[in-house]
């Protein structure tokens, strides 16, 4: 039995130590917000935070985690940078199919916590491990900048949020 | 556009449709080519249909369900059932806006639902079935969904007016309420839902005047964004059913190969492994979780019967295709006038590769088969086709089968196929528990139904001014349509998709001849729809060639195109706007930086892209900027239009820069994102989208950006280097500045000036 701290809750799981965290989260604990995209740390869809640092859970053996705390997309909104990023993602309306966006948001939230006002180069470095096949990259960059500065930095449609808009 | 639904078409109506289809293009052209008979019958309807009662009953039996799309409860909740599937293109938002606008509710007052499988209730008029593809969704439902909303509003108003004993025309509707201003009375939709449900269908309904639109035309937030940013959206792979086990599958790597034998002794004793299942061409290990199943799969000793393609290579396919292109029998798709005897002739050959889809969500399906019932959970672009294959494979009647569609983690045409769910059904019917069958990324790429490879010869005869007096096009490749919808093949067996965007070009060219040579791939190598398909391929060839002609004529590519667009003001306006926005002809560009133009009219829209790129001395591409101008007619949601064009363009640039599926020993060589590269954010330029607004009928969007990307890139590379690319993906070795360049370190200048997005 391993004990994991996930989103502030303790979970006891009976799994092999070499099992990647991704599958423990998805198939054992039942947190499916973290996605499977490649299984070899190439696409970033599985990104979670380990003690606040972004890691690729698809190649992280669960036995190596010890007592470090795990945060997933389901709880990142409880952190200041996660909340800012999620709000900017809504304001710029980043998502398309949405499958990669859990990982994108986890990478972006970690970036914003580390670099409150990231440059383009900072964004490239932090986000280039996350693939989006829909090609939402232009809006991802706009949303990160907006989350940091609160200002519209890139030519970009900002969705209106009157009473007629989805909440 | 007038869509015909539910009634037999007269010859005249069909001709109208056919003409429209030619204008609108894409998959639609192929289906409407059918004429009066065939499959183009089932389609969505604004009014209650025979199948609606059962559908509404299965959907919670709401008090008011006037058609297949709107459900209103006595508590006033409004649920909207989405005819088209959501794979990122924002059609759930667009469809909801059309319905909500006419119904009289805000987007914050609705919830959306996936539709059950039914061609009759949710068939796309332009495709003849419940199919999301071909950039048809808005084009094909724009009118009927508005009318569906208006039917519901009319009935709710009638019910309220009857209660109040007033004339319905004196009532208004707003945010889910009916108002009678003269008497100061108001009532919520919920309170009149039951009464409205008893009323007969109205014959005629009044659609909202576009000047009074509250939702349509506004950049509204997507209905699925809030859940997607929280990881709360359920995709097919996220489905969890009580008692479910997980299967990881491996199919024979060669095309058409079979499973010979499996030694599963080691796998069966592994912890967490539940079972080992076999079908004709694949083996699956079932586990308590994915990891156990995958470990079990790797412990199998598998012997394959590699079949007749065991030695197949890409080069063999290429050679055979080139031979067909040269000597094969062609079908003439369109011929106007004849080739002039005099004039300079320019001719080029272009080749395009096979491509994988690589949707971010690998293919998967969850299936539970019992003796008298089958339930399926998956994300598919073709729910009704899934129902068909499930009935065939399980032997159950369709009323015993439930298909729960899910959000799709990308489609791009891959989920127009049913191969993975057919496999899942064959596996799941061997076991007594619900089975989630998951394809690893490796399986997803190696068993993709790839975009066909193409070999195209394009030629032109130029007049004394260097303008094309005639163009000839001979394209050859496999046919997707011929397998996927053989009934929709055209006259003489023409695949209209294969010649899309080349039978008609935006330019004034007096005569032309367009031919297609069908070249089938070996059995087992199945080609499929891939975002933009024919248009993506043909626009690369035609627009690269237009640049070649400009070069031969000694003209600026912008001026050369302008001169040929004098009778096409809509496309000329796009070209001029794009040139203005990027500053064409302004400040001189640095060395090895170039801009490339591409213009086209794919999927019923008009689009122009100008890409600006640097090519390093080492031959690497650094995209600096892209400007896209678009005329898609009436805009439902400008925000999602911009997103589709940006994303579509990047999808096309990604493929042009990196993507090619190759074959060795009868199997696809690529397997994951390390060897099937995709564009990343650090390689992405700013993409500006500028839309020309008008009130023309809506055009398609999902594939438009993709179709225009590659030629703009190739033309920019030519402008930067003088090297014309006749093959995709981009071959960097052709772009190296000199023999020593590869030895030099990439200059600091190149990396710091690589992007221009501040």
Tens digit of pLDDT for each residue in B48-79?
A: 999 999 999 999 999 999 999 999 999 999 99
pLDDT in the model for residue B99 = 98
Which residue in B has a C-alpha nearest to residue A39's C-alpha? B441
Q: What is the pLDDT of residues B486-498, one digit of tens each?
A: 999 998 999 999 9
Question: Which residues on B lie below 8 Å from A138 (Cβ)?
Answer: 646, 650, 684, 686-687
pLDDT at B27 over 90: no
pLDDT in the model for residue B745 = 57
- What tokens appear for B237 in the block? 């792979």
pLDDT in the model for residue B541 = 98
Q: Is B269 exposed, middle or buried (0-12, 13-18, 19+ CB in 10 A)?
A: exposed
A93 to chain B, closest Cα gap in Å: 6
Mean pLDDT of B617-644: 97
Distances (CA, A) of B336 to B466, B472, B555: 20, 10, 26
The ipTM of this complex is 0.96
Q: Do A124 and B682 touch (CB under 8 A)?
A: yes
* Contact in structure between A73 and B230 (CB atoms under 8 Å): yes
A111 to chain B, closest Cα gap in Å: 14
Farthest-apart Cα atoms in chain B, separation:
89
Question: Which residues on A lie below 8 Å from B410 (Cβ)?
Answer: 97, 99, 133-134
B682 touches chain A (CB under 8 A): yes
Q: Do A36 and B362 touch (CB under 8 A)?
A: yes
Mean pLDDT of B742-748: 59
B683 to chain A, closest Cα gap in Å: 8
Q: Which of B111, B250, B291, B298 should one mutate to test binding to chain A, selecting the residue with the greatest count of A CBs within 10 A? A: B291
Query: Which of A97, A124, A129 lies at the smallest CB-CB distance from B410?
Result: A97
pLDDT in the model for residue B17 = 39
Query: Which of A19, A32, A129 lies at the smallest CB-CB distance from B238?
Result: A32
Q: Do A138 and B222 touch (CB under 8 A)?
A: no
pLDDT at B37 over 80: no
Question: Which residues on A lie below 8 Å from B444 (Cβ)?
Answer: none
pLDDT at B756 over 60: no
Residue ranges of alpha helices (H) inside B229-362 are 265-268, 290-298, 314-327
- What tokens appear for A78 in the block? 């409880």
Q: What is the pLDDT of residues B198-257, one digit of tens each?
A: 999 999 999 999 999 999 999 999 999 999 999 999 999 999 999 999 999 999 999 999
Which residue in B has a C-alpha nearest to residue A131's C-alpha? B680
Question: Which residues on A lie below 8 Å from B234 (Cβ)?
Answer: 32
Q: Burial code of A113-125, b = ≥16 C-beta within 10 A, e = fewer?
A: beeeebebebbbe
Query: Which of B240, B409, B679 lies at the smallest CB-CB distance from A30?
Result: B240
Q: Do A99 and B409 touch (CB under 8 A)?
A: yes
Question: Which residues on A lie below 8 Å from B684 (Cβ)?
Answer: 135, 137-138, 141
Q: What is the pLDDT of residues B678-700, one digit of tens each?
A: 999 999 999 999 999 999 999 99
Mean pLDDT of B11-32: 42
Low-confidence ranges of chain A (pLDDT < 50): 162-163, 167
Task: Label residue B754 by pLDDT band (50, 70, 90).
Answer: very low
Q: What is the pLDDT of residues B256-304, one digit of tens each?
A: 999 999 999 999 999 999 999 999 999 999 999 999 999 999 999 999 9
pLDDT in the model for residue B24 = 45
Question: Which residues on B lie below 8 Å from A28 (Cβ)?
Answer: 289
pLDDT in the model for residue B266 = 98
- Percent of chain B at pLDDT exceeding 70: 92
Query: Which of A136, A141, A163 lies at the smallest CB-CB distance from B647?
Result: A136
pLDDT at B537 over 70: yes
Which residue in B has a C-alpha nearest to residue A43's C-alpha? B673
pLDDT in the model for residue B12 = 31
pLDDT in the model for residue B738 = 84
B618/B732 Cα distance (integer angstroms): 8
- Percent of chain B at pLDDT exceeding 90: 91
Question: Which residues on B lie below 8 Å from A30 (Cβ)?
Answer: 240
Q: Do B688 and A155 touch (CB under 8 A)?
A: yes
A13/B288 Cα distance (integer angstroms): 13
pLDDT at B464 over 50: yes
Q: Which of B91-100, B397-406, B738-747 shows the lowest per-residue confidence on average (mean pLDDT)?
A: B738-747
B684 touches chain A (CB under 8 A): yes
Q: Do B220 and A32 touch (CB under 8 A)?
A: no
Query: Which of A72, A98, A128 lies at the smallest CB-CB distance from B681?
Result: A128
pLDDT in the model for residue A40 = 98
B409/B378 Cα distance (integer angstroms): 10
B674 touches chain A (CB under 8 A): yes
pLDDT in the model for residue B244 = 98
pLDDT at B180 over 60: yes
Q: Do B231 and A74 touch (CB under 8 A)?
A: yes
Q: Do A165 and B221 touch (CB under 8 A)?
A: yes
B412 touches chain A (CB under 8 A): yes
B133 to chain A, closest Cα gap in Å: 15
Which residue in A has a C-alpha nearest to residue B90's C-alpha? A96
A114 to chain B, closest Cα gap in Å: 19
Residues 79-108 of B with CB under 8 A from A: 86-90, 93, 106-108
**Mean per-residue pLDDT of chain B:** 93
Q: Burial code of A70-80, b = ≥16 C-beta within 10 A, e = fewer?
A: bbbbbbbbebe
pLDDT in the model for residue A159 = 61
Q: Is B589 exposed, middle or buried (0-12, 13-18, 19+ CB in 10 A)?
A: middle
B626 touches chain A (CB under 8 A): no
- What tokens appear for B406 in the block? 């899910």
B360 to chain A, closest Cα gap in Å: 6
Query: Which of A23, A86, A100 lies at the smallest CB-CB distance from B290?
Result: A23
A53 to chain B, closest Cα gap in Å: 19
Q: Is B722 exposed, middle or buried (0-12, 13-18, 19+ CB in 10 A)?
A: exposed
* Contact in structure between B356 and B413 (CB atoms under 8 Å): no
Question: Which residues on A lie below 8 Å from B688 (Cβ)?
Answer: 155
Which residue in A has a C-alpha nearest to residue B288's C-alpha? A27
Q: Do B229 and A90 touch (CB under 8 A)?
A: yes
Which residue in B has a C-alpha nearest to residue A62's C-alpha? B291
Which residue in B has a C-alpha nearest to residue A58's C-alpha? B291
* Contact in structure between B702 and A96 (CB atoms under 8 Å): no
Residue B549 sits at φ, ψ, to 5 deg, of -65, -40
Write a three-state SS string for B707-751: HHHHHHHHHHHHHHHCCCCCECCCCHHHHCCCCCHHHCCCCHHHH
First to last CA, chain A: 42
- What tokens appear for B422 in the block? 């057919």
Query: Which of A34, A139, A154 lies at the smallest CB-CB distance from B757?
Result: A154
Q: Do A154 and B680 touch (CB under 8 A)?
A: no
How many CB atoms sit inside 10 A of residue B412's CB?
Answer: 29
| Tokens 């396919």 -> residue | B317
* Contact in structure between B85 and B404 (CB atoms under 8 Å): no
B755 touches chain A (CB under 8 A): yes
What contacts B529, CB < 8 A, 6 or more positions away?
B27, B133, B413, B416, B451, B480, B484
A94 to chain B, closest Cα gap in Å: 8
pLDDT in the model for residue B740 = 82
pLDDT in the model for residue B23 = 44
């Amino acid at each position: 039995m391993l004990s994991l701290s996930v989103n502030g809750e303790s979970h006891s799981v009976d799994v092999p130590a070499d099992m990647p965290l991704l599958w423990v989260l998805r198939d054992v604990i039942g947190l499916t917000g973290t996605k499977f995209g490649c299984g070899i740390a190439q696409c970033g869809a599985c990104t979670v935070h380990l003690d606040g640092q972004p890691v690729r859970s698809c190649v992280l053996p669960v036995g190596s985690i010890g007592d470090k705390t795990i945060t997933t997309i389901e709880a990142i909104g409880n952190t200041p940078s996660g909340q800012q990023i999620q709000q900017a993602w809504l304001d710029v309306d980043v998502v398309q199919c949405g499958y990669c966006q859990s990982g994108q948001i986890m990478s972006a939230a970690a970036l914003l916590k580390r670099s409150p006002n990231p440059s383009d180069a900072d964004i490239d470095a932090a986000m280039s491990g996350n693939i989006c096949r829909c090609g939402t990259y232009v809006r991802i960059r706009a949303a990160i900048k907006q989350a940091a500065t609160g200002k519209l930095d890139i030519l970009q449609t900002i969705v209106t949020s009157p009473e007629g808009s989805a909440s | 556009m007038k869509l015909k639904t539910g009634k037999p078409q007269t010859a005249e109506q069909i001709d109208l449709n056919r003409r429209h289809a030619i204008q609108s293009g894409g998959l639609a052209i192929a289906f409407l080519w059918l004429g009066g008979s065939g499959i183009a019958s089932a389609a969505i309807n604004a009014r209650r249909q025979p199948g609606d009662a059962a559908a509404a009953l299965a959907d919670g039996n709401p008090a008011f369900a006037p058609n297949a799309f709107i459900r209103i409860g006595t508590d006033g909740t409004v649920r909207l059932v989405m005819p088209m599937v959501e794979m990122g293109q924002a059609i759930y938002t667009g469809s909801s806006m059309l319905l909500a606008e006419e119904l009289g509710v805000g987007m914050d007052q609705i919830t959306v639902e996936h539709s059950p499988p039914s061609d009759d209730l949710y068939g796309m008029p332009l495709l003849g079935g419940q199919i999301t593809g071909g950039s048809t969704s808005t084009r094909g439902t724009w009118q009927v969904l508005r009318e569906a909303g208006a039917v519901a509003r009319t009935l709710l108003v009638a019910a309220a007016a009857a209660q109040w004993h007033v004339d319905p025309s004196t009532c208004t509707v707003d945010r889910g309420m009916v108002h009678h201003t003269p008497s100061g009375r108001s009532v919520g939709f919920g309170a009149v839902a039951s009464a409205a449900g008893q009323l007969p269908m109205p014959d005629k309904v009044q659609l909202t005047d576009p000047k009074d639109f509250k939702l349509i035309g506004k950049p509204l937030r997507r209905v699925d964004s809030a859940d997607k940013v929280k990881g709360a959206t359920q995709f097919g792979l996220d489905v969890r059913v009580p008692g479910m086990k997980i299967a990881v599958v491996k199919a024979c790597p060669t095309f058409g190969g079979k499973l010979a034998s499996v030694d599963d002794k080691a796998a069966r004793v592994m912890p967490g492994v539940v079972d080992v299942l076999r079908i004709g061409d694949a083996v699956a290990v079932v586990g308590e979780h994915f990891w156990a199943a995958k470990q079990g799969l790797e412990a199998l000793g598998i012997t394959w019967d590699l079949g007749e393609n065991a030695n197949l290579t890409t080069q063999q396919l290429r050679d055979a295709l080139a031979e067909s292109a040269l000597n094969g029998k062609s079908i003439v798709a369109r011929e106007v006038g004849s080739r002039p005897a005099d004039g300079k002739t320019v001719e080029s050959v272009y080749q395009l590769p096979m491509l994988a889809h690589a949707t971010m969500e690998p293919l998967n399906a969850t299936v539970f088969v019992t003796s008298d019932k089958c339930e399926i959970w998956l994300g598919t672009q073709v729910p009704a086709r899934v129902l068909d294959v499930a009935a065939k494979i399980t032997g159950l009647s369709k009323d015993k089968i439930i298909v729960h569609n899910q959000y799709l983690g990308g489609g791009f045409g891959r989920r127009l196929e049913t191969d993975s769910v057919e496999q899942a059904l064959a596996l799941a019917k061997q076991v007594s528990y619900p089975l989630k069958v998951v394809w690893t990324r490796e399986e997803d790429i190696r068993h993709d139904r790839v975009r066909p490879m193409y070999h195209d010869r394009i030629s032109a005869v130029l007049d004394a001014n260097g303008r094309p007096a005639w163009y000839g096009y001979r394209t050859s490749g496999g046919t997707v349509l011929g397998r996927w919808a053989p009934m929709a093949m055209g006259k003489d067996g023409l695949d209209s998709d294969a010649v899309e965007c080349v039978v008609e070009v935006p330019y004034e060219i007096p005569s032309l001849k367009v031919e297609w040579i069908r070249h089938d791939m070996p059995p087992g190598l199945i080609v499929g729809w891939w975002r933009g398909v024919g248009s993506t391929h043909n626009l690369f060839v035609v627009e690269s060639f237009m640049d070649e002609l400009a070069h031969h004529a000694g003209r600026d590519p912008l001026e050369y195109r302008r001169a040929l667009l004098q009778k096409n003001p809509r496309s000329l306006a796009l070209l001029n706007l794009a040139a203005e926005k990027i500053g064409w002809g302004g400040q001189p560009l640095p060395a090895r930086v170039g801009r490339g133009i591409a213009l086209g009219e794919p999927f019923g829209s008009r689009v122009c892209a100008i890409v600006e790129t640097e090519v390093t001395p080492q031959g690497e591409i650094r995209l600096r900027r892209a400007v896209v101008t678009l005329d898609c007619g009436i805009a439902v949601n400008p925000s999602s239009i911009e997103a589709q064009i940006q994303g579509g363009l990047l999808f096309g640039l990604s493929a042009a820069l990196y993507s090619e599926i190759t074959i060795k020993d009868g199997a696809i060589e690529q397997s994951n994102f390390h060897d099937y590269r995709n564009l990343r954010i650090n390689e992405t330029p700013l993409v500006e989208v500028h839309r020309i607004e008008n009130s023309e009928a809506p055009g398609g969007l999902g594939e438009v950006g993709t179709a225009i990307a590659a030629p703009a890139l190739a033309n920019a590379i030519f402008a930067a280097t003088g090297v014309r690319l006749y093959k995709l993906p981009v071959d960097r070795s052709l772009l190296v500045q000199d023999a020593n360049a590869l030895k030099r370190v990439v200059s600091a200048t190149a990396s710091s000036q690589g992007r221009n997005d501040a």
